[in-house]
Amino acid sequence: MDAVYVPAHVTPCEFYWLALLDEGPLSRGKSPGPWEWQENSETFSDFWEEARKFQEGHCIFRLKIDGYNKGGLIAHWNAIECFVPASHLLDYPFPADPAAREECFKEYLERELRLCVIEVEPTRSRILLSERQVDDCEMSRASLPEWLCPDVTCEGLVTSIRPFGIFVDIGPLEGMVHISELSWGRVRYPGDLVSTGDKVKVMILSVDVEHQRVGLSLKRLLPNPWDTVEEYLSPGDKVSGKVVGVERFGVFVELVNGLEGLLHISELCSGNNDGRADSVRRNYREGDPIDVKILDIVPEDHRIALGLLKRETGYAAV
């Protein structure tokens, strides 16, 4: 959508936030919600690695059948074709007549099956699944300790660093800390904060028994700067910050304690800036110092709206 104009130094209205939510960083929750940056999305190699972990961890997951061929059923997981051979289906009658076999396969379309991974073949872009071996997989899984539950704090070793987060071995399972759970501030690459082999303290966010997955967080063990932001920042304050992100809809500015505010493109329609995306990218670069005015603070939504100031004396950098 087109940028919504908001007159300079006027408290942003709801249209301001709607423009941000439509054009800005993706939010994982319901709008309006905390800003979440989704960078360095997972690649196909990451999906194949996850499929292998499913196989090694004897994980069970559910997939909807969306096709078939003469040998079995077809489903898709993360755009990867998965194949369930007829011999690995429960209660399959194995009719000899090809037409009868096709009718049996049609009965499975749109049905959701509980399946486990029996083979991963990246070279053939295929994953083989089984319905028959689900019970064996469940019996092969190690039982999880009682302490492994949400809100528990534990220690672990960093085993792998990926663009989307880090993996931490916490004993019974290997959990993942998503990049959005590493710090309250912006994280460009997880390796900037931790290294493989580091011992870290994490909070358990979620436990998925079927998939043998554990969601972890580092930042939840640190004070949330948004809880106290109004103690040191107020609307009308003039502060100095640093540009940490330049988007077509505006500029993100780091202020203090990792907190960021948005200098919307509507605030840049003056001077050498004509309010166009190419003008914003031409005049602002990451790392540049910048003087701004606090227009509005919404702590519960993790938002700070900023206005542009000309560089002048009389106020200190935050």
pLDDT band at 122 (very low <50, low <70, confident <90, very high): confident
Fold match between domain 14-36+225-308 and domain 60-140: yes
Residue ranges per domain, the chain? Answer: 14-36+225-308, 60-140, 153-221
The DSSP output letter for 182 is: T
Residue 295 has pLDDT above 90, yes or no: yes
For the chain, give the mean pLDDT: 80
**Fold (CATH) for 153-221:** OB fold (Dihydrolipoamide Acetyltransferase, E2P) (2.40.50)
Of 95-109, 141-155, 294-308, the range with the lowest mean pLDDT is: 141-155
Which CATH number is correct for 14-36+225-308, 3.30.360.10, 3.40.718.10, 3.40.50.150, 2.40.50.140?
A: 2.40.50.140
The string of pLDDT tens digits covering residues 179-236 is: 999 998 888 899 999 999 999 999 999 988 777 789 999 999 999 999 999 998 999 9
pLDDT digits (tens, 9 = 90+) for 4-57: 444 434 444 444 444 444 444 433 343 333 333 344 444 557 788 888 888 877
| pLDDT of amino acid 29 | 40
Indicate the pTM of the whole model.
Answer: 0.55
Buried b (16+ CB within 10 A) or exposed e, 230-266: eeebeeeeebbbbbbbbbebbbbbbbebbbbbbbbbb
| Cα(44)–Cα(57) distance, integer angstroms | 20
What pLDDT, on a 0 to 100 scale, did the predictor assign at position 109? Answer: 95
How many Cβ atoms sit within 10 Å of the Cβ of residue 172? 14
Percent of the chain beyond pLDDT 90? Answer: 43
Band of residue 277 on the pLDDT scale cut at 50, 70, 90: low
Q: Could you tell me what percent of the chain has a pLDDT over 70?
A: 79
Q: How far is CA 50 from CA 80, 113, 117, 122, in A?
A: 12, 19, 11, 12
Question: What are 133-163's pLDDT values in tens digits?
Answer: 998 887 766 667 888 889 999 999 999 998 8
Closest by Cα among 130, 137, 314, 299 to 225: 299
pLDDT of residue 182: 94
Phi-psi region of 40 (alpha: psi -120 to 50; beta: other; left: phi over 0): left
Specify the pairing of strand 126-130 against strand 80-85.
parallel
Within a 10 A sphere around the Cβ of 31, how many other Cβ atoms? Answer: 11
Residue 269 pLDDT class (50, 70, 90 cuts):
low
Assigned CATH topology for domain 60-140: OB fold (Dihydrolipoamide Acetyltransferase, E2P) (2.40.50)
